[in-house]
Structure 1
Amino acid sequence: MAYIKHGAYHFKMDEYPPDESVTHPRKFQYYWFKSFPWLEYSPDKDAVYCFPCFLFCKKPLGKKGSDVFTVKGFKKWKRVNDGERCAFLTHMGKDSKSAHNYAAKCYDNLKNKPCHMEPLVVKQTDGDIRRNRLRLRVTFDSLRWLAFQACPFRGHDESLDSKNQGNFLEMVKLIASYDEEIGAVVLGNAPGNAKYTSPTIQKELLGIIASKVQSEIRKEIGDAKLCLLVDESRDESKREQMAVVIRFVDKPGFTRERFLDIVHVADTSSATLKEEISSVLVQHQLDVNNIRGQGYDGASNMRGEWNGLQAKFMEECPYAYYIHCFAHQLQLALVAASKEVADVHNFFDHLALVINTVVSSSKRHDELQANQVAEMEHLIELGELETESGANQVGTLQRPCDTRWSSHYASVCSLVKLYKPTFLVHKSIATAKGSGTSPSARAKASGAVNLMMSFDFIFILHVIKNLWESRTCYAKSCNKSLKIL
């Protein structure tokens, strides 16, 4: 900037050297600076340059002599003061849009502070700044609340005439309806280029929130030793996602588990998982040598002794001991044991039939609840049920999940509790002739009635309930966050 402020270099000599390369030598004249103040003289080359063109020339060099006044230097003094053919006048050009005039204008604007970006930005009124901040705050608070509640942001139709534009826009509308100042600056009252509601803005703000949360987690971890808990699963879009959880002891001495990151992985090979996990650790400045435990499932890519994920981390940190998830081990043991006992294996197939027949139909579910109410009223009359507040709630049957055997215990308990109402629903279906019930539905219901009246089914139901009650307590203890590392 000092060079620009100084301006063109008007070097003054008592006598300028003549150009000996021509027959009639001529030399530079100092008074030319007055007529052409943009000239800059170089005593080393005995040539002149155009100061603004040197700074802002936008023409390609080497074309039509355009680099004479910027690179080579002009020294053909005979062509100066040659009327309209004067080289200096020719360089300036008659058109106001010539390269020289464009460069001169750029130079003048650079010297003129009011034309700089900073003064133009400062001119923005305090009111504009306040309105923009208020608009952004509404967007930020809406996103933060929806993210905390795990709610989707966008709707199927976000057009202006849509009756439901999605959770995010509807929440902004709701906030605006309670405050006139907010309503005056958001959505339709916001400038077209500063609404702060586009999907891109939403993702950017969510990224900022996520980075802030991760930063706080990193501060909480500090230099503590940690355990690495990793699991992968396929999401709704069929993309393999890997969740990374860090388990550590904080400064007050409490065991903490923090969900640190979720990463898309191309495949679930141990090499790929190792690379992605290492990238997450490096990103958050976590030292691999501080790992004191690894918690994964029992898949071969995780627990492999030589090429598994746990083995690859053990190569870098020999103290990163691998522990197969206790709850997962217990689940595998239960699955194996259930398959070995034919009666138990068949029982779970029958259990699914009994429950699914009822919960798959809203009409049958309503009938189940009506049977519950009738049974409760009868038991209350007999004095076998208490009538205090919160007691005797109407429940429903729980479907078992194939991948979560803990859900089978909930299914067994729900059927034990609702055994008679469930039996009455199946009996009603089996005996409903000519009421729109299909023969196959009546046949299934009839089979369920026979099952529920059999000694083997009832006996196994109660054995499984009592046996898995202790198993559930153990599984919960395996999942407690305060378990010793």
Structure 2
Amino acid sequence: MNKQKSITSFFKRKEPENDTTPTNGDETPINGDETPINEDTNPMRTYSSIRGMSIIELDNVDISTLERDPGLRRPIWDYPVEKRNEIRRAYIKLKLYQPRLPDYPLSGPENHRRRFQSDWFNKFPDWLEYSPSKDVVFCFPCYLFAEPNARIKVFTSTGFRNWKKVNDGKRCAFLGHVGTGPCSIHKNAVLSFRTLPKQKSQIPNVLNKQNEKQIKLNRLRLKASIDTIRLLTLQGCPLRGHDESNNSDNQGNFREYRKVLATYNKDVAKAIRQAPYNSKYTAPSIQKEILHIISNKVRNNIRQEIGDSKYCILVDEARDESKREQMGLVLRFVDKNGSIRERFFDLIHVPDTSAATLKRELCVVLARHNLAIENIRGQGYDGASNMRGEWNGLQALFMSDCPYAYYIHCFAHRLQLSLVAASRDVSIIHQFFSNLSFVVNVVGSSSKRLDELHATKAAEIKLLLSIGELESGRGANQMGTLKRAGDTRWGSHLYSIQSLMKMFNAIVSVLEHVVGDKSCTSSQRGDADGALNLMVSFDFVFVALLMVEILGIADVLCQALQQKSQDVVNAVRLVSTSQALIQGLRENG
């Protein structure tokens, strides 16, 4: 009686008793390095190790965050079947990973150490890849297209590091991998590598047989969607609305702007009106994809501007509206024309704000765009401990990898911190700003009081113009309003005091009217009376005039330090000038 076999046992193959290393045509081991690579520690698994198991489910693969390092990426056969061609096209678009490092690590016996040579990229530019994390090389087309049971896994999963076999004439391991015959495994993989990108554009044309008119209409609709998204994104406007149904009176900015665009062109209007249900190019997923393509093109242009030159990184993190911690990355560099450029490069979500996490996420973004950490020549952060820490801060971690990446704390931010610390040490100044906020809140808490304030100020300006105290002219005597002081920007304190002094008489008149108005509640009249007593007191007026003088000097320095082009020598000169002015105010003011 024959034993019934299960499906799993049917697909299992018998493993050889002795594990042999893949060889080339001359039976020479391809990976014969004296320091063998431990496959157990390799995060990638070959197909033969999972044949009796289910393929790893990766339905939510993010194409934009694929691993570039060939020593760390997953085998192509670990992805679901329906995802593999999409993953292959994404990797082909990213191109080969060929980092050119100043020095590659040594390996081999102690008496004859060898290392990888960057010149090999020029000899084998179409397939050779290098993994900095494992100091091994891989074949890019074979990784994407070679069968999992092929006898070249050393160039697809484990990696090759036997450098002495490279420059060995006809017995070169790289030439042995390529093969001499027209149907070698490598050459078949290269053929698939070259033909796959063309299939995506050929198959729809063959199957759908769209005529030129329909293609033109589709492109016109897509162009209208792209132009609308570019306009809204440039202006910082949201795309979608609360109700985008056909019966809605307001379908959101994207659809409404697209309708307006169609009114100025008959062809666009016809293309939008005759759009079939499956090619309108208005779905949220289409909008996100267009935004993603635009952002990638912007990053690629920035990367081309940088080229091989040195650059600086400017980083700051904050929470967005959804309470997610976001880290903004700005690159500062000198372009080909010798001009200093600052470009916003990426917005990265980080799970926490520890220095190690921030560095890891930054390195992932920089490596994805082939920006070498060794080319960093400056770091710009705030004064938080996780940023400026001398031993474990973000700047210290980058300095350990690149000793020329000097850290600079923002001069304007340091000036702001100094002003805050100095003002808090003087109790009368601290009380003044508290009283200033109270006065602004009392006057600005009611729209009726604001209207009365503007009317009173307009009557005052009219009177001063009639008696010749003010000069008329275009842009002169503009109607202002009270400004609130913000904690994050110390310059706003100066603007708040100046707006108060400019409308001092009008504010006093409004507060006197509120105090005598019986229609107001007792608490309102009490607050108005307290604010009026504060404003007419000598201490309040004296400190206000004093702070206008001091903060006026500091504001000139603060605005100068925030210029796009600045150098350390000029900044030190500005600081010395400001110190001299404040010292002169102390001695002779």
- The TM tier, using the shorter chain, reads 0.7 to 0.9
Residue 183 (structure 1) aligned with residue 269 (structure 2): yes
The answer for the alignment partner of 2:483 in structure 1 is: 398
What letter corresponds to residue 173 of structure 1 in structure 2? K
What letter corresponds to residue 538 of structure 2 in structure 1? F
Q: Structure 1 residue 117: deviation in Å?
A: 4.8
2: CA distance, partners of 1:352 / 1:119:
68
Q: Structure 1 residue 121: deviation in Å?
A: 4.0
Q: Structure 1 residue 178: deviation in Å?
A: 2.0
1: CA distance, partners of 2:514 / 2:274:
59
Select 1:476's aligned residue among 550, 555, 559: 559
The answer for the alignment partner of 2:371 in structure 1 is: 286
Report SS of the residue matched to 1:184.
helix
Select 1:229's aligned residue among 314, 326, 329: 314
Which of the pair has more CA radius of gyration? 1
Report SS of the residue matched to 1:366.
helix
The answer for the alignment partner of 1:154 in structure 2 is: 240
User: Unaligned 5+ residue runs, structure 1?
Assistant: 1-115
1: CA distance, partners of 2:393 / 2:322:
27
1: CA distance, partners of 2:203 / 2:315:
50
Q: Structure 1 residue 119: deviation in Å?
A: 6.4
Q: How does 1:42-61 map to 2 (within 5 A)?
A: none
2: CA distance, partners of 1:118 / 1:208:
21
Q: Structure 1 residue 122: deviation in Å?
A: 6.6
Deviations 1:255-305 (A, max 9, x none): 211111110111100011001111111122111111111111111000111
2: CA distance, partners of 1:117 / 1:253:
47
The answer for the alignment partner of 1:381 in structure 2 is: 466
> More deviation in 323-332 or 117-126?
117-126
What letter corresponds to residue 524 of structure 2 in structure 1? A
Q: Structure 1 residue 158: deviation in Å?
A: 1.3
2: CA distance, partners of 1:438 / 1:404:
35
2: CA distance, partners of 1:249 / 1:376:
50
Select 2:449's aligned residue among 339, 364, 373: 364
The answer for the alignment partner of 1:213 in structure 2 is: 298
Deviations 1:156-186 (A, max 9, x none): 2212121111111110111112222212221
The answer for the alignment partner of 1:27 in structure 2 is: none
Q: Structure 1 residue 118: deviation in Å?
A: 6.3
The answer for the alignment partner of 2:187 in structure 1 is: none
Select 1:195's aligned residue among 280, 287, 296: 280
The answer for the alignment partner of 1:316 in structure 2 is: 401
The answer for the alignment partner of 2:121 in structure 1 is: none
| Alpha-carbon RMSD | 1.5
The answer for the alignment partner of 1:451 in structure 2 is: 534
What letter corresponds to residue 455 of structure 1 in structure 2? F
The answer for the alignment partner of 1:258 in structure 2 is: 343
What letter corresponds to residue 319 of structure 2 in structure 1? R
**Distance change (3 Å), C-alpha of 1:454 and 1:317:** same
The answer for the alignment partner of 2:512 in structure 1 is: 427
What letter corresponds to residue 203 of structure 1 in structure 2? K
Normalised TM-score (structure 2): 0.61
The answer for the alignment partner of 2:50 in structure 1 is: none
Q: Structure 1 residue 206: deviation in Å?
A: 0.6
Q: How does 1:302-341 map to 2 (within 5 A)?
A: 302-341=387-426
Deviations 1:18-59 (A, max 9, x none): xxxxxxxxxxxxxxxxxxxxxxxxxxxxxxxxxxxxxxxxxx
Q: Structure 1 residue 209: deviation in Å?
A: 0.7
Deviations 1:189-230 (A, max 9, x none): 311111101111111001111111111111111222211110
Q: Structure 1 residue 425: deviation in Å?
A: 1.8
Q: How does 1:65-80 map to 2 (within 5 A)?
A: none
User: Unaligned 5+ residue runs, structure 2?
Assistant: 1-201, 569-589
What letter corresponds to residue 263 of structure 2 in structure 1? S
Residue 174 (structure 1) aligned with residue 247 (structure 2): no
2: CA distance, partners of 1:274 / 1:425:
55
Q: Structure 1 residue 438: deviation in Å?
A: 2.2
2: CA distance, partners of 1:438 / 1:226:
62
2: CA distance, partners of 1:119 / 1:189:
21
Aligned-pair identity in percent equals: 53
2: CA distance, partners of 1:198 / 1:248:
38
What letter corresponds to residue 290 of structure 2 in structure 1? L
1: CA distance, partners of 2:204 / 2:508:
80
The answer for the alignment partner of 1:461 in structure 2 is: 544
1: CA distance, partners of 2:422 / 2:288:
47
Aligned residue pairs total 367
Report SS of the residue matched to 2:271.
coil
2: CA distance, partners of 1:432 / 1:415:
23
Deviations 1:426-450 (A, max 9, x none): 22222211x2x22212111111100
2: CA distance, partners of 1:406 / 1:123:
64
Select 1:441's aligned residue among 495, 500, 524: 524
Q: Structure 1 residue 123: deviation in Å?
A: 2.4
Deviations 1:367-389 (A, max 9, x none): 11111111110110111111112
The answer for the alignment partner of 1:164 in structure 2 is: 250
Report SS of the residue matched to 1:441.
helix
Which runs of 4 or more aligned residues in structure 1 lie more than 3 Å from their structure 2 counterparts after TM superposition? 116-122
